[in-house]
C-alpha cells in the first residue's frame, strides 16, 4: 500500500549491512591521526580484532588488504586535498616504489607523478581495489561532510591540473 521498493540498480537503496560495517571501518581510517599501515593497526583503530575486521571485509565482498589500501588512499587524498603528487607526504611509506606499486594496484599508477588533483568520488569511480558495488555505493553515500570540498570537485582523470 503505497510502499515503493528500492531501485535494484542502486545498491545504496537497500540496507547493505555488511557494506555498512565495512564502511564504518573505512571511515575510522579517514579521520585517523596516523596512517594505519597494517591490518593489525586498522583493527586497533576500529576497536576490533584483526580476524573480526577481516571477516567484516569478506562479508562485504572486499579483500581485507585491498580494503585497507583503499581506505589509506582515501585518507591521503583527503589530507592532500586530492593532490596526487603529495600522497607520500601523508602515507607512512618510506620507499617511493612502494607508493608506485600501491597506486598501480589501485588502477591509478600512471597519475602518481603528475600534478593532477583527484576528488574522492573520482578516485572511487576509477580505482580497482574494491569491486563490490554495494560496498562502493554505501561508501560514496557516506563520505564524511568534512571532506565535501574535495568529495565531488570535478577533476578529469589523466589530465594534469594546476596545484596553485
Average pLDDT over residues 116-132: 90
Residue 134 has pLDDT above 50, yes or no: yes
DSSP 158: T
pLDDT in tens, 50-85: 999 999 999 999 999 999 999 999 999 999 998 888
Residue 6 lies inside a defined structural domain of this protein = no
Q: Which domain holds residue 66?
A: 15-144
Distance CA 5, CA 97 (A): 48
pLDDT in tens, 9-26: 555 546 789 999 999 999
CB–CB of 13/126 below 8 Å?
no
Residue 163 lies inside a defined structural domain of this protein = no
Task: State how many domains the chain has.
Answer: 1
Note the pLDDT of residue 106.
94
Note the pLDDT of residue 152.
47
Residue 160 lies inside a defined structural domain of this protein = no
Q: What is the mean pLDDT of the chain?
A: 83
CB–CB of 132/117 below 8 Å?
no
Distance CA 62, CA 135 (A): 8
Residue 63 lies inside a defined structural domain of this protein = yes
Residue 47 lies inside a defined structural domain of this protein = yes
3-class secondary-structure state, position 104 = helix
pLDDT in tens, 25-59: 999 999 999 999 999 999 999 999 999 999 999 99
Residue 5 lies inside a defined structural domain of this protein = no
Amino acid at each position: 500500500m503505497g510502499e515503493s521498493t528500492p531501485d535494484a540498480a542502486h545498491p545504496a537503496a537497500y540496507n547493505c549491512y555488511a557494506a555498512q560495517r565495512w564502511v564504518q571501518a573505512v571511515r575510522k581510517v579517514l579521520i585517523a591521526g596516523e596512517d594505519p599501515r597494517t591490518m593489525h593497526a586498522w583493527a586497533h583503530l576500529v576497536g576490533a580484532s584483526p580476524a573480526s575486521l577481516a571477516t567484516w571485509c569478506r562479508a562485504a565482498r572486499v579483500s581485507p588488504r585491498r580494503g585497507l589500501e583503499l581506505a589509506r588512499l582515501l585518507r591521503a587524498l583527503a589530507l592532500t586535498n586530492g593532490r596526487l603528487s603529495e600522497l607520500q607526504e601523508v602515507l607512512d611509506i618510506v620507499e617511493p616504489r612502494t607508493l608506485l606499486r600501491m597506486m598501480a594496484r589501485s588502477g591509478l599508477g600512471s597519475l602518481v607523478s603528475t600534478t593532477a588533483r583527484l576528488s574522492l568520488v573520482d578516485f572511487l569511480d576509477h580505482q580497482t581495489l574494491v569491486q563490490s558495488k554495494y560496498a562502493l555505493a554505501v561508501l560514496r553515500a557516506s563520505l564524511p561532510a568534512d571532506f565535501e570540498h574535495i568529495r565531488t570537485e570535478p577533476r578529469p582523470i589523466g589530465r594534469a591540473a594546476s596545484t596553485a
